[in-house]
């Protein structure tokens, strides 16, 4: 079915939220005699991370003293905090938290427990990938009703022609004649959503088998106040070049580790638009996707603002195309960085909410400082260290390496186990992991700094990386 842009204004929207199935897992879980509360895990994890930070900072006194001669006491302390102490604390927090992470048990649901879902896809110039995306949806064996709304956001290529050639019974096409951005396209689709759960999927992403079922199962198994669940997004085109090889490990290790930990502590901070589930009534209650370049993070923080929980479905997998050129990659990271700043501008008061997830809001507040120290001090310091000048990067910098290496290995084991359960194999990518561990920061930090500068200067905002 094709829906034209002028038609959606007349479409009626339900005035009350749809009834949702109860989280049956809450009633069926077996009592565990050795249950450790999430709050205790959080307190222990935070205490050990702070302990590591205090110890490393004390050991760095011999580094700070000569550095103070060159740039003063305040500058020396700020540099050491940003280069070694804070990154080390964050890695210890990740390592200890993941050691204590026990995913909520996934209950087995009969087919009639599954609600209908609306799947939204915003497509702009996706002629090369949109049919593969639709084919991956058709291969899903979801046991309840499914509708797929593809919003063609004013594409100038053959995207619309490819969509018209598809003949799936669940497919509806909304054709917007002018490109208005991803947020607008998704909000148009939201007006047509017929089911209690809405799932977003990027037009260049493909669902792995049973991804929809597993994402909904995680939602049904999570605490009753869960309003959204982020899926697991992994790189599809990792063999294209060294840049995509590096990104494969960032998605596989870094992003998955942070989302696991945030979900454990009651608030994943980004239900990414590439593949996530939301309660339709709550989407409408918060006003849908905001008109911003970081629409997914701003939306997620709005959901957290209203007291809801955001979870993470670690085995509900979608494979997406990562940027293949340095320019595309820098534009993507610039957009993500600007999205974070937009979230702080709109929902900065979350810094003072009394929730465990508030720690991660403060954590994100430190990123601009850490990124600037890394790019403007640490990288030049590495060059100086090659000539025997250890003011900025010296032996004490190694204090941040053991936690980082342990976290990477720990997440690799966790993810590998999940892959085996899904019938997947972790592909050999030795070059990618070496590049990721040694040089990824060198590539990504400039993109982040560009994002901070662009937001500070209020430069024009663009959606996408094309």
Every domain of the chain and the residues it spans? 2-14+106-349, 39-102+356-456
Cα(42)–Cα(65) distance, rounded to whole angstroms?
34
For residue 153, give every residue at least 6 positions away whose Cβ sits within 8 Å of its Cβ, in sequence order, or none: 122, 123, 124, 176, 179, 180, 181, 182, 184, 185
H helices present in 12-167, as ranges: 25-28, 38-59, 61-80, 86-99, 130-138, 159-165
Confidence at residue 24, expressed as pLDDT on a 0 to 100 scale: 43
Nearest CA-CA partner of 87 in 393, 399, 377: 399
* Torsion angle in degrees (nearest 10) through CA of 328, 333, 336, 342: -110
List, run by run, the mean pLDDT of 10-residue segments along the chain (466 residues).
41 40 44 72 94 86 77 84 86 91 76 93 95 97 96 96 95 94 95 97 95 95 93 93 93 92 89 96 96 94 94 95 93 93 94 91 92 81 68 61 80 92 86 85 87 84 57
DSSP 330-384: HHHHHHHHHHHHHHHHHHGGGGG--STTHHHHHHHHTHHHHHHHIIIIIHHHHHH
Cα(274)–Cα(39) distance, rounded to whole angstroms?
31
| Farthest CA pair distance, the chain | 72
Cα(452)–Cα(447) distance, rounded to whole angstroms?
9
Confidence at residue 463, expressed as pLDDT on a 0 to 100 scale: 57
Structural contact between residues 208 and 317, judged by C-beta atoms closer than 8 angstroms: yes
CATH topology of domain 2-14+106-349: Spore Coat Polysaccharide Biosynthesis Protein SpsA; Chain A (3.90.550)
């Amino acid at each position: 079915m094709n829906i034209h842009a002028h038609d959606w204004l007349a479409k009626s929207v339900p005035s009350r939220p749809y009834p949702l199935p109860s989280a049956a897992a809450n009633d069926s879980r077996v009592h565990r005699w050795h249950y450790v509360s999430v709050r205790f895990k959080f307190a222990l994890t935070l205490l050990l991370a702070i302990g590591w930070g205090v110890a490393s900072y004390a050991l760095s006194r011999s580094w700070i003293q000569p550095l103070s001669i060159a740039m003063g006491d305040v500058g020396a302390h700020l540099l050491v905090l940003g280069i070694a102490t804070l990154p080390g604390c964050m890695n210890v927090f990740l390592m200890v938290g993941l050691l204590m992470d026990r995913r909520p048990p996934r209950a087995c649901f009969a087919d009639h427990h599954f609600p209908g879902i609306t799947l939204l896809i915003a497509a702009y110039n996706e002629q090369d990938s949109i049919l593969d995306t639709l084919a991956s949806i058709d291969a899903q064996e979801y046991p309840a009703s499914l509708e797929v709304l593809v919003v063609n956001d004013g594409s100038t290529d053959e995207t619309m022609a490819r969509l018209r050639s598809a003949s799936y019974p669940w497919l509806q096409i909304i054709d917007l004649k002018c490109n208005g951005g991803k947020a607008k396209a998704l909000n148009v689709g939201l007006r047509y959503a017929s089911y209690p759960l809405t799932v977003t999927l990027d037009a260049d992403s493909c669902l792995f088998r049973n991804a929809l079922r597993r994402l909904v199962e995680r939602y049904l198994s999570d605490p009753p106040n869960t309003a959204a669940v982020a899926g697991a997004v992994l790189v599809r085109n990792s063999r294209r070049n060294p840049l995509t090889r590096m990104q494969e490990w960032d998605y596989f290790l870094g992003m998955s580790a942070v989302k696991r930990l945030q979900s454990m502590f009651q608030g994943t901070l980004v239900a990414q638009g590439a593949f996530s589930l939301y309660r339709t009534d709550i989407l409408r209650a918060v006003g849908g996707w905001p008109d911003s370049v970081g629409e997914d993070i701003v939306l997620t923080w709005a959901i957290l603002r209203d007291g809801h929980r955001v979870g993470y479905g670690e085995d509900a997998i979608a494979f997406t195309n990562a940027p293949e050129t340095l320019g595309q990659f820098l534009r993507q990271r610039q957009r993500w960085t600007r999205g974070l700043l937009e979230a702080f501008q709109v929902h900065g008061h979350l810094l003072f909410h009394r929730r465990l997830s508030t720690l991660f809001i403060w954590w994100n507040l430190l990123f601009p400082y850490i990124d600037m120290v890394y790019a403007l001090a640490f990288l030049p310091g590495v060059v100086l260290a090659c000539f025997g000048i250890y003011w900025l990067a010296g032996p004490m910098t190694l204090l941040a390496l053991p936690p980082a290496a342990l976290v990477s290995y720990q997440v690799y084991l966790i993810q590998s186990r999940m892959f085996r359960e899904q019938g997947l194999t972790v592909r050999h990518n030795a070059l990618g992991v070496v590049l990721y561990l040694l040089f990824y920061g060198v590539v990504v930090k400039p993109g982040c700094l560009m994002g901070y500068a662009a937001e500070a200067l209020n430069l024009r905002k663009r959606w996408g990386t094309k």
